[in-house]
């Protein structure tokens, strides 16, 4: 599991919005060194997830709409459409011959334990902690 570029860019966008002020996409893109066209796509996802507020119009822009102390890295990854799966077999819809025909898979069981620990670790770090170090 690796954080995708999209989630990395989302973190940068949220960092630019930490001051609570209204920022344009152009300002954010320039400040955080992001491709502006990609920033628009990410902003739509952040807006849908309720993490930011988009203000339309000539005096528009975007600003934080949530408390980053209450939002985890796991939450951001889910908002970006990521899953933290170590293996394809972590997905309940995945069809595995070993699980169905061989009476279980010891690797799957161990990977599930590791997956739960990883998810808990991702949930234990707020975005504020990650972005500000406090």
The predicted model scores a pTM of: 0.84
> Could you tell me if residue 43 is left (phi over 0), alpha (psi between -120 and 50 degrees) or otherwise beta?
alpha
* Structural domain harbouring 81: 5-132
> What does the block give as tokens for 50?
């309720």
Collapsing DSSP to helix, strand or coil, 56 comes out as coil
CATH number at residue 51: 1.10.10.10
Mean pLDDT, residues 10-16 taken together? 97
How far is 40 from 108, CA to CA, in rounded Å? 38
The number of distinct structural domains making up the chain is: 1
| Cβ pair 13, 42 in contact under 8 A | yes
Tens-digit pLDDT profile for residues 78-110: 999 887 677 777 777 777 766 555 566 777 778
> What does the block give as tokens for 77?
């990854």
Mean pLDDT, residues 20-46 taken together? 94
| Number of residues assigned to the chain | 134
């Amino acid at each position: 599991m690796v954080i995708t570029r999209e989630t990395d860019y989302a973190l940068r966008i949220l960092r630019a919005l930490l001051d609570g002020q209204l920022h344009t996409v152009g300002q954010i893109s320039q400040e955080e060194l992001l491709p502006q066209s990609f920033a628009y796509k990410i902003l739509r996802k952040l807006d849908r997830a309720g993490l930011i507020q988009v203000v339309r119009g000539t005096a528009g822009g975007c600003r934080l709409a949530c408390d980053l102390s209450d939002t985890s890295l796991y939450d951001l990854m889910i908002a970006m459409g990521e899953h933290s799966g170590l293996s394809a077999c972590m997905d309940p819809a995945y069809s595995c011959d070993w699980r169905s025909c061989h009476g279980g898979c010891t690797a799957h069981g161990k990977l599930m334990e590791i997956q739960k620990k990883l998810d808990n670790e991702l949930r234990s770090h707020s975005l504020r902690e990650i972005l500000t170090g406090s």
